[in-house]
A and B are shown apart, each in its own frame.
Chain A
């Protein structure tokens, strides 16, 4: 029964009202509808009179409406709760409406009704639709939460991002996520929300552990009229990014590691020196760091004992044996022999044995161990270290060799009794051994840096060896001069006889770089010589006297001064006389030889004509020869050259030779003198005579003198 309880004065209001007003009774039958509502529900006045129910009119009105939900709202309204639902037109213009149901008591309070106030929310709806579309097109999952953190709106992407099946709307943010998966947050959600509600933007990260995904959620406040009414949260899957970051991080770590290794290798290279023990120790430490190994050992091969000797080790865990013999079965010997690295792995550790190779020769082995295995990179590193070590070992060996040689030389230099003086190209002394100090009286510190001639001062007249050699001769022409006798004056002014040998020092390209003089103090030698020759002189002299007596008495006896002799007596006494004469001559030679060698004879060297000398001598001895009817013939092939000799001595020699020839030639024979030049520096006189021994003696005599007079 439709009773128009509304005031007629409200009719015009009702008709101008754009909002639709429907009133339904407890049976959900429409009791009143204003013109707007009629329009919405497509109701006619006549239709109204029939009091249709809400459900049917909604159905008929070609509206998109959830009738059940609407009826529920009406029921709630009858219970006194205001509720609302929304619906829209299916046909154009497609308007959207919001219906609010609330209880309405009629004026006479006899009927309970519900007023359904319908408001056109199309513009709002469209805006909302726009926003929703926008949000749904975002790749990020977006939610809007209220001040309590409850999700009021969410886009579909949010579910995809968080891999959840249900909408998060109506629950505190992340609830659906945390219930579906194992999640780790980098910051507490509560903290974030607090911040955001204060107006701050924030970001949090969460890891979905079971799927291995990383989500970044950015929060921003929603401010309306300067008041934060809620927040917007945008979630993004950053797993890929994170992976890349991790990868980059790993690469950075790797790069850092390489940098560290490089610097460690550089440190290895910086280890130089020749003290092998300390070098091995340092290497062992560095290798332990470089290869992160708990055990490092360096074995070096000792060829003398045919053993691999542990030179140094760094051990935190295991104990390395101190030697390996080559036939022992072990990685170390295998690596050494095979000249290849070997990696072994057992339950507790991994080991790498690498041979130290230099010029294809194994010098030793480095063995390292640690818990985790060694890869190619480790192998490369160790090889670098081993190569460097090999070079150092070689260098140290060479250095030690050179050093040993130098030490031997030093020993000779220091302890020999002969003075060793080393001079440079300018003739300045650069080396002066202790023996030189003993001889010259100059300390090495005084001598070094001075000119050779100032320290080794040669004085005195020319000795038997004519021509004192100079340093220039040695340095410029590279000749070696041995045993040149020189009288030198020492620092105190004392004169000392010496024998000095000079030798040039050549470099690799045969250029004279310096020279060395070896000085022998011949004082003692000379003393001995003098004693010897004095002895010989004395003895010879003593011998002469009895020989003279024998000669004299024999001569007188043979002259028959003491009475007549028989022919036999005469003959045999003559033989005695001759023998005695030989003795006299021998003694004479001995005397002279001694004299010459001792250098007591001084020679005046000048160019002499051999021809003249020979002629002179022959003239001198002509009478002697005539007395024995011995003919002296000079046979000359060509002119004899000028020779450098002491005239007196030369004359003496040739006189002796020819005199002897005459003496020992039987009467009536001939002495032939043949003069020949043989070679540049030697001259030989051949004397043909019966007495062979004469020749020998004579030539020897000549030779002696020729040697001491340089031509």
Chain B
């Protein structure tokens, strides 16, 4: 149903999330690093970006900054995924909020279907926010 861009460097995790999201009927595109992510975004407009932070070459935050710079990409809701510790997450939460991230998840804390649920929620909220009250989907 929705178009998901999954940015994650670990192939196994990619397999896992891709499997789940596709099981739920979503369309998943994958980028395994920050550069690829931006490349993909040139042609693909997802409804949601799942963004890993720790990636080679360009890390999640850098990518995020880039995305937010571009007017056509700015609107797309982003969920940051990470396996950093809670503490690091907390430290980064400020930054994340400042950059306009919709949610920040620790991968090991959530099962794949929880992640899917969160994704759906975020997309739902986003649609509600960006559409006039009279219109509904």
Contact = CB atoms under 8 A, between A and B. Distances in A.
Given A555-B111, A556-B112, A561-B20, A549 B85 contact: no
A393 interface: no
B45 interface: no
A555 B107 CA distance: 13
A545 interface: yes
B-side binding surface: helix, strand, loop or mixed? helix
A584 B108 contact: yes
Interface string B97-114: 000000000011101110
Contacts of A437: none
B1 interface: no
B108 A544 contact: yes
Contacts, number: 68
Contact of B16 (A540, A553, A588, A592): A553
Interface string B69-86: 000000000000001111
Contacts of B12: 545-546, 549
Contacts of A545: 10, 12-13, 83, 107
A439 B16 CA distance: 54
B96 to A, nearest CB: 16
A561 B111 CA distance: 13
Given A541-B83, A541-B84, A591-B85, A552 B90 contact: no
Contacts of A587: 108
Given A540-B85, A591-B85, A549 B20 contact: no
B113 A548 contact: no
A559 interface: yes
A556 B16 contact: yes
Given A556-B113, A584-B108, A588-B108, A549 B16 contact: yes
A552 B112 contact: yes
A556 B83 contact: no
Size class of A's contact patch? 20 to 34
Nearest to A600: B87
Contacts of B23: 556, 561
B12 to A, nearest CB: 4
Interface string A348-384: 0000000000000000000000000000000000000
Contacts of B112: 552, 555-556
B19 interface: yes
B2 interface: no
Interface string B102-137: 000001110111000000000000000000000000
Nearest to B23: A561
Interface string B2-26: 0000000010110011011001000
B87 A547 contact: no
Given A556-B112, A592-B85, 5 more contacts: A544-B108, A556-B23, A561-B20, A588-B108, A591-B87
10 contacts: A541-B54, A541-B84, A549-B12, A552-B13, A552-B112, A555-B113, A556-B16, A556-B20, A588-B85, A591-B86
Interface of B: 10, 12-13, 16-17, 19-20, 23, 54, 83-88, 90, 107-109, 111-113
List 10 tightest A-B contacts by C-beta distance, closest first. A591-B85, A555-B111, A544-B83, A552-B16, A595-B87, A549-B12, A548-B107, A548-B108, A552-B112, A584-B108
